[in-house]
Chain A
């Protein structure tokens, strides 16, 4: 079955520290991969996406993610976290011919210590 796993429900980091949010997926073929951020009371904003090519993808707000086919992972990273990054982060996958039908992970809530 197709699924997305975000093993960390909550993560707390200090401002200025580095961040890595984990995402593993189970899919029949190489899917399209996405990371979204949801701030409290807001909709989802696309941080970055991977379709093909370079497996290290740069996104907005200083985020990057690396696609590792052998590990079925698409972890999100940021070298230095800012207080405004506190939010919920969702990893998602979509089929190449129907990427509108995204399968989301259950999310990781990021808390940032001052």
Chain B
């Protein structure tokens, strides 16, 4: 059983471009969470999704960021018009249920140049 798969592992974007980060949860998991880790900081919660629904987006920046988890396919975190401050590691986690153990992926390291 493969773990949580994130791709790409590394992503470089120029300021103003769009970044698309993908996350395939563990098999059988329908709950997905995105976290962001800024340099020298801990992870910060961004958004919690279940299939086709956003459950909690209280940690998402109000502009330029969006997330989806379609019925088929991976969860996508999209960042439009990236800025230097978006450079971070973005981690996805998945779980069987809302309050069950979450398993983390290896992260996508976004660098904005």
The interface of chain A, by Cβ under 8 A from chain B, is 4, 6, 36, 41-46, 49, 90, 92, 96-107
Contacts and interface: CB of A to CB of B under 8 A. Distances in A.
B33 A43 contact: no
Q: Is the interface of A mostly helix, strand, loop or mixed?
A: strand
B106 A42 contact: yes
A106 B101 contact: no
Nearest to B91: A43
B43 A46 contact: no
12 contacts: A41-B106, A43-B91, A43-B105, A44-B91, A45-B104, A90-B42, A99-B99, A100-B31, A101-B48, A101-B59, A104-B42, A107-B42
B107 interface: yes
A49 B99 CA distance: 13
Nearest to A9: B40
Interface of B: 3-4, 6, 31, 33, 35, 40-45, 48, 56, 58-59, 91, 93, 95, 98-99, 101-107
B95 A100 contact: yes
A81 B101 CA distance: 26
B44 A100 contact: no
Given A100-B33, A102-B43, A102-B45, A43 B107 contact: yes
Contacts of B59: 101
Given A97-B99, A100-B33, 5 more contacts: A90-B43, A101-B58, A101-B59, A102-B43, A106-B42
A43 B4 contact: yes
A45 to B, nearest CB: 8
Contacts of B41: 106
Contact of A44 (B40, B48, B56, B104): B104
A46 B106 contact: no
Nearest to A44: B104
